[in-house]
Amino acid sequence: MRIEVVDVGKQFGKFTALTDVSLEVAEGSLTALLGPSGSGKSTLLRIIAGLETPDSGHVLTDGLDVTRARPQDRGIGFVFQHYAAFNHMSVRENVAFGLRIRKLPKPEVQARVDELLKLVGLTAWSGQRPAQLSGGQRQRMALARALAVEPRVLLLDEPFGALDAKVRAELRQWLRRLHDEQGVTTVLVTHDQEEAMEVADTIAVMHEGRIEQTGAPRDVYDRPATDFVMGFLGPAVRVDGQLVRPHDLRLALEPEDHALEAMVTRVVHLGFEVRVELELADGRTARAQLTRGEANQLELSDGDIVYVRPPVATGAELTA
Amino acid sequence: MRVSRPATLSLRAVGLLYLAGLLLLPVGVVLVRTFDHGLGQAWGWMTTPAAISALWLTIAIAAIAVPLNTIFGVGCSLVLVRGRARGRAILDSLIDLPFVVSPVIVGLALILVYGQDGWFGNWFLNNGIRIIYAPAGIVIATVFVSLPFVVREVAPILMEVGEEQEEAAATLGASGWQTFWRVTLPSIRWGVAYGVVLTTARALGEIGAVLVVSSNVAGSTLTLPLLVYQRDSQLGPQAITGAYAAATELIVLSLAVLLLMTLLGSRREVTK
Amino acid sequence: MSSSSSYAAPRAPAGWRARVRVPRGTLSLGVATLYMSVIVLIPLAAVVEKAVAQGPGAFFDSVTASGAVSALVITLVASLVVAAIGAVMGTLVAWILARDKFPGQRLVNSLIDLPFALPTIVAGLTLIALYGPRSPFGLHLAYARAGVLLALLFVTLPFVVRAVQPVLIELDPEAEEAAASLGASNATIFRRIVLPSLRPAIASGAALAFARAVGEFGALVLIAGKVQIASIVIFADIESDATQAAASLSVVLLVISLIVLVLLRWPGARNAR
């Protein structure tokens, strides 16, 4: 399903959640809505789902205007951050729910549920209640439940936000693999830039109710359109009027043009790379990332004074 | 806080003595008094035609009032918690009124509306509908006093469970009615059950309003609580055993209610 | 799995629901309000109307008649005393249920709800059985007032206990442990750490107990005798067809109850967002 969001605006009382938001989601892609809390990404997702109605603008699926359509009529699958499991039903009954609603014949429902439980690895748990499952298992059940009705788009609202780091990492990869196999158009809301970069084909970076930039992960990271995007996608420090990434900072032992004076507060050896934590003259802290070779050359220790500048070529890249 | 042994024991003693004296002893005395003149007499009092019809009437009236207030209670909770209409806060405050209005005032109010020369009383009487001094009046009074219980039990649970399950059901294609039956109702069922039990207890025990709107005629307007009152205060001193007997019947009903309250009370805890 | 075969085909909505944007639940709110009006609001309005129909002068006269005034005073004083005793004893009972452990505790916990489950007329009967003229203890209550207090304490017992109990259970023991480690005695800990946390619950429980006591009828109608409780006076007025007097006194009681209701809700609406 192709999705187009056109000039959508939404307010909750005095709070403006979205302003003039437009987005195109290509058929079969995996798009991430990335941003901090309050950026409007969940609201946008819920408007696409039909769980909220925009104050202005339109939502189109495959060219059809569904702005006022109910969630039931949009052919979507939705996965919630806190699973929204039907606690009084077993895992099997949860997954079967959408199929039972459509009054499909029992054998067909049975077969489809078995297929899905196998897909998400919960076959052994089919008779259990959600309360007896771990968070990761519950979310996989929720995914199976959403996929059961063969949605044309899968919408996920911070699906891994309530899980611990290891489970999050596993499920993230698992989701990407699932998308590659099944090919369903997917929109994912997340505040974790690493997650977005790892999983998505396209990232829409949102800030205070607007989309600041849309593009492939690489583009958004290397060619950020605004300071916010740059700062959100990764660490950055302002040197000589530009925002520079830690691994782009050049350190020198002698003063140079366009270089700021800084004191080394800590040198952390992370195996293959070395992180140098710095305090600038105006009190700001910054981080530089060096290779082992570079670090050995400089022989830095705590308290040393160094001179920090952006790489020469960066200026041209940034303004492109 | 680590309380010393003597202090713990004294607190326990004071508390338990207070409860025993206030709760257990009086109830115990009624049970004993019922059988003062033997089992036969007590049984006799419980099986007079008036007593039997009083028991059935009391149960029948509860059987009407409780379902009405349950449907209202569930619907009203949904409106208050899931709805977005304006004016919900006002309705919310008004629901507590039956908790604080004295039952005699309820009785007076009904007479002023449905009685002769009341607001609508003459209309009803002219159409052959008797409300005051008839069972209908007792039903309305009972509905009034037992109105808030289901709402106040179900609404907090609805708030705590949250809307996500219902939203999930919608995204899976369920209509409003399907979502209610398959997702919402199961999530509130223990709250509804507990609320029903409380409503039933209140309905069975109503006396103040009923005393005002009833004609005390056995078979049509004499409820069991009224029978207790009648036997204690209106009939002669020999009927006092009869009052105790009827009270014992009510105590048995109450203990059954109390048992249900205890069993369902712990099930009310919401599991997420 | 191809995304072209789908069980769920999207379609645009039809009908008036697509065009009219009314907040969700408006119709249901209307129905609920209608039910409330018919059952509760209209009858109460009739009472107010009866009280003032003959003009404010008549209302004032009824309310300031000596019988009415003394009934109100007795009722208010009794209810305040009961609320106060209930606050103390209720907190004590809540304490032994929440913080203590003894055999039969669960049974005792269930019994707290007995006044909720028991018809008030039976409560009245039980109390005169025990403490009235035919008492087995020969405790002939010369003071019917004491009987009234006991009856009211019975029916209001659960209010404070059930309000305080959950708060006591939820209390973080760390605050008390910190105070103990700083050298505070148990009495001090209770007074300065525990009690302040309990105060809102005790207050709301006592307020509910007060509101209930003011209007109590069934538990008192057999005991009251010489004691003129407001609800008994209203009943007598109704029986003797003095409906205007009954309505006037009722209005005063209603106002008192409403004030308590408002005070209780002030922290915020309970169920509607």
pLDDT bracket for residue C134 (50, 70, 90): low
* Displacement of CA A18 from its chain's centroid (Å): 18
Instruction: Look at the block and give the residue holding tokens 């000039």.
Output: A7
Q: Distance between alpha carbon A216 and the CA centroid of its chain, in Å? A: 12
**3-class secondary structure, B203:** helix
Element holding C53 (H helix, E strand): none
Task: Over range A19-42, report the average pLDDT.
Answer: 94
pLDDT in tens, chain B (272 residues): 778 888 899 999 999 999 998 888 888 888 888 888 888 888 898 899 989 999 999 999 999 999 999 999 999 999 999 988 888 888 988 898 998 899 999 999 999 999 888 888 888 888 888 888 889 999 999 999 999 999 999 999 999 888 999 999 999 999 999 999 999 999 999 999 999 999 999 999 999 999 999 987 877 889 999 999 888 877 777 788 888 999 999 999 989 988 998 888 877 765 43
Q: Is C71 on the interface with B (CB under 8 A)?
A: no
Q: How confident is the model over A91-97, as a mean pLDDT?
A: 95
- C-alpha pair distances (Å), A74 with each of A27, A153, B170, B203, C13: 15, 9, 10, 47, 10
CA C7 to chain B, closest CA, distance in angstroms equals: 10
Phi-psi region of C157 (alpha: psi -120 to 50; beta: other; left: phi over 0): alpha
> Which among C40, C215, C247 has CB closest to B147?
C40
Q: What is the CATH number of the domain that holds C63?
A: 1.10.3720.10
pLDDT at C226: 66
Whole-number pLDDT of residue C12? 47
Which residue among A65, A75, A104 places its CB closest to the CB of C9? A75
Structure tokens at A258: 């366009």
Q: Which two tokens stand for residue A183?
A: 């090919």
Tell me what pLDDT residue A257 has.
78
Strand A210-215 to strand A273-280: parallel, antiparallel, or no bridges (unpaired)?
A: unpaired
In chain C, how many domains are there?
1
List all residues 6 or more positions away from B111 whose beta carbon is below 8 Å from its beta carbon. Answer: B118, B132, B212, B213, C238, C243
Which is higher by pLDDT, A7 or A315?
Answer: A7
In this prediction, residues C28-54 reach a mean pLDDT of 92
Residues β-bridged to residue A24: A4
Taking residues A241-255, report their average pLDDT. 83
Q: Are strands A285-291 and A260-270 parallel, antiparallel or unpaired?
A: unpaired
Q: What is the CA radius of gyration of chain A?
A: 24
Asked if C108 and C119 count as a contact pair (C-beta separation under 8 A), the reply is no
C189 occurs within a structural domain: yes
Count of C-beta atoms within a 10 Å radius of residue C196? 9
User: What distances in angstroms separate CA C211 from CA B231, C236, C253, C256, one per listed residue?
Assistant: 29, 21, 9, 8
Contact present, C169 and C194 (Cβ < 8 Å): no
Beta strands A242-244 and A250-252 are unpaired
**Boundaries of domain holding C59:** 27-270
Q: Which residues of C232-243 are buried (b: 16+ CB within 10 A; e: fewer)?
A: bbbbbbbeeebb
Any bridge partners for residue A264, and if so which? Answer: A278
Closest among A245, A228, A253, A257 to A286, alpha carbons compared:
A245
**Over the stretch B106-164, which tens digit does the pLDDT of each residue have?**
999 999 999 888 888 888 888 888 888 889 999 999 999 999 999 999 999 999 888 99
Determine the distance in angstroms separating the CA of C271 from the nearest CA of chain A, rounded to an integer. 20
Sign of CA dihedral B264, B141, C235, C52: positive
Beta bridge partners of A76: A153
Q: How far is CA B36 from CA A162, B29, B41, B168, in A?
A: 66, 10, 9, 63
C4 domain residue, yes or no: no
Q: In the CATH scheme, what is the code of domain B49-271?
A: 1.10.3720.10
Return the pLDDT at A201: 94
Q: Mean of the per-residue pLDDT values for chain A?
A: 90
pLDDT at A214: 95
State the pLDDT at residue C9. Answer: 46
Instruction: Tell me if C15 is assigned to some domain.
Output: no
Distance of CA B242 to the CA centre of its chain: 24
Residue C139 has pLDDT above 70, yes or no: no
Q: Would you tell me which residues 212-251 of chain C have a C-beta closer than 8 angstroms to some C-beta of chain B?
A: 212, 214-218, 221-222, 230-231, 234-235, 238, 243, 246-247, 250
pLDDT digits (tens, 9 = 90+) for A161-189: 889 989 999 999 999 999 999 899 999 99
**Nearest residue of A to residue B185 by CA position?**
A88
CA angle in degrees (0–180, nearest 5) for B50-B54-B57: 135
Question: Closest partner residue to B172 among A50, A97, A131, by Cβ?
Answer: A97
Interface test mutation site (partner B, options C20, C34, C44, C231, max chain B beta carbons within 10 A): C44
Domain boundaries, given as residue ranges, for chain B:
49-271
Please name which of B250, B206, B215 lies closest in space to residue B103, comparing C-alpha atoms.
B206
Residue C67 · residue C75 · CB < 8 Å: no
**DSSP, res A47:** H
Mean pLDDT across chain C:
83
CA distance A92 to B120: 57
Is the pLDDT at C7 greater than 70? The verdict is no
Report which listed range, A256-260, A288-292, C3-7, C105-109, is most confident.
C105-109
Q: Which chains touch A (3 or more CB pairs under 8 A)?
A: B, C
Q: Is C10 on the interface with B (CB under 8 A)?
A: no
Instruction: For residue C18, give the nearest of A1, A68, A75 by CB distance.
Output: A68
> Would you tell me how many other CB atoms lie within 10 Å of the CB of residue C244?
18
CA distance C64 to C11: 70
Task: Give the whole-angstrom CA distance, residue A230 versus residue A224.
Answer: 5
CB A75 within 8 A of CB A155: no
Cα–Cα distance list, A267 to A235, A298, A306, B22 (Å)? 17, 12, 13, 74
Write down the pLDDT at residue B126: 85
Distance CA C253, CA C74 (A): 13
Q: Is C23 on the interface with A (CB under 8 A)?
A: no
pLDDT computed for residue A216 by the predictor: 94
Contact B263, B53 (CB under 8 A): no
Which residues in A lie closer than 8 A to residue C15 (C-beta atoms)?
none
Q: Over the range B140-149, which residues count as b (16 or more CB within 10 Å of their CB) and which as e?
A: bbbbbbbbbb
C15 and chain A: CB distance < 8 Å anywhere?
A: no
Distance from CA of B268 to the nearest CA of A (A): 14
Residue C137 confidence class, pLDDT cut points 50, 70, 90: low
Name every residue whose Cβ is closer than 8 Å to that of residue A12 and which is 6 or more positions away in sequence.
Answer: none
CB B149 within 8 A of CB B99: no
In a domain, C1, yes or no: no
Contacts of C270 (CB under 8 A, 6+ apart): B92, B152, B155
Residues of A in contact with C1 (CB under 8 A): 150, 182-184
Which tokens hold the place of A27? 């058929």
**Rounded-to-integer distance, Cα C84 and Cα C193, Å:** 21
Give Cβ neighbours of residue A111 (< 8 Å, ≥ 6 apart): none
Residue C143 — pLDDT band, cuts 50, 70, 90? low
The pair of three-digit structure tokens given for residue C97, joined into one six-digit string: 């249920």
pLDDT digits (tens, 9 = 90+) for C61-72: 888 888 889 899
Q: Are B7 and C85 contacting, i.e. CB atoms less than 8 angstroms apart? A: no
Rounded to an integer, the average pLDDT of A201-226 is 93
Cβ within 8 Å, pair C122-B81: no
Residue B106: φ, ψ to 5°: -60, -45
Distance, in Å, from the CA atom of B66 to the CA atom of B36, rounded to the nearest integer, reads 35
- Widest CA span of chain B, in angstroms? 73
Residue burial C150-172, b: 16+ Cβ < 10 Å; e: rest: bbbbbbbbbbbbbbbbebbeebe
Nearest partner of B171 among C120, A76, A81, C35, judged by Cα: A76
Tens of pLDDT, residue by residue over C72-102, are 999 999 999 999 999 999 999 999 999 999 9
- Cβ–Cβ contacts within 10 Å for residue C203, how many? 16
Given a cut of 90, whether residue A307 has pLDDT beyond it is no
Distance from C-alpha of A97 to C-alpha of A82, rounded to nearest angstrom? 18
Q: 3-state DSSP call for residue B87?
A: coil
Residue closest to C48 by CA, chosen among C234, C252, C259: C252
Reading the block at residue A314, the tokens are 């960066």
Residue of chain B whose alpha carbon sits nearest to that of A77: B171
Question: Residues with Cβ < 8 Å from B253, sequence gap 6 or more?
Answer: B204
Q: Is residue C157 part of a domain?
A: yes
Query: Residue A132 has what DSSP assignment?
Result: G
pLDDT of residue A318: 38
Q: Report pLDDT digits (tens) over C211-251.
A: 999 999 999 888 756 678 899 999 999 999 888 999 999 99
Closest residue to A75, CB basis, from C10, C13, C18 = C10
Phi, psi (rounded to 5 degrees) for A279: -120, 125
